[in-house]
Structures are given as C-alpha cells and as structure tokens.
Amino acid sequence: MFRSTTRMLAGAMLLALPLLGLPAVANAAPSDVTTVYYDNEAGSAWSDAVSQAVANWNAAEQNVQFAAGDSSDSTVLIEASSGWPETQPQSPGAGTVYLGEEAVSEGYDRTRITAHELGHILGLDDNYNGDCSILMSGHSAGTSCTNAKPGPDEAAQVDQIFAGGAAAVVRSRVATVGVF
C-alpha cells in the first residue's frame, strides 16, 4: 500500500513540474514498468548470486524490474535447498525458486543458476541446446559456463510478456517446474 501510494505521489509531482516552470525529469521510469518483489530466504551462501542475478535481469529489461521485498509484499520466494535447482512458477512474476546445492557441488555457477531460475519466474522455458550464451540453456551448457546474463532474444521475450505494465501472458502450464 505504501509503495503504490508513494509511486502515485511521485508520478503526480513529475506531472506538476512543468506547471511550476520546472523541467520534467528526462530519465523518469515509465509508469508501465512492473515491479516484481522477491523475498530472499536463501541465506548468505546465495546472497551475492541473488544480487548479481537480479542486477543482470534489471539491466536487460524495460518492462519489468526485480526489487527486494519482504514476506508481506513479495510474489517471489527464493529458498535454498539441498537438491537440484528448480522453480515452481505460478504466473509470470510469481512463484517459488529453490536454489539447489546439488548443482553447486557438481560445479555449476551459483549466479548462472539463480539468473536461470529467475528467468522461469519471468515466464521463460528451458532451452537445453547447450549454448552458453543462452541463459535458459541451463545445465546443458556444462559446468564451465558461467554466463548469468539473459541474451537479447530472452530479454525481448520477457519484455513482451510484461508489455503494458503487467504480465500480459499467463503461463498455461502453471504447475510446470523449471529445472536448471
């Protein structure tokens, strides 16, 4: 409630600036950007990876941005697990990410794992083609692949899903589990 009220007031102030003879802020964020709040319960072992993965997605996206939240306003829960990484998406921008230590013990990069699983939260499916430049290729790219940035096609697909300020496409496979 507080965040939406704050955004509304900030938007109103930006609109009023020209009326006061002041220039509007040129780099103001568009009002149709969807903010996806996440609650990072994963713990310190994953905190750097979560921060970097979120930064990578935020740098690549125009229509959606991740922001840290808490249990009261988050639609994404990030948890550590002892198993293989997986995601249980509910719809684009919502679900649970399980960051699995099993993949780390096999040599996979924590940040790539995290960014890949967040890709599922944003509506992307796995693409097991082995291409390291494609984030959603997951573990098929091998343990030497540390690329944790979405490719241009992946970023464009997510921007399309979130065009207009909200997830325009709801996953038809809500029960699908994305596995790294």
Catalytically active residues are 117
Q: How far apart are CA 117 and CA 180, in angstroms?
A: 7
- 85 near 98, Cβ under 8 Å? yes
The answer for 125, left when phi > 0, alpha when psi is -120 to 50, beta otherwise, is beta
Q: DSSP per residue over 34-81, as a string?
A: EEEEEEE-S-HHHHHHHHHHHHHHHHH-SSEEEEE--TTT-SEEEEEE
Strand partners, 34: 64
Q: How far apart are CA 157 and CA 83, in angstroms?
A: 29
The answer for 133, left when phi > 0, alpha when psi is -120 to 50, beta otherwise, is alpha
10 Å CB burial of residue 26 (0-12, 13-18, 19+) is exposed
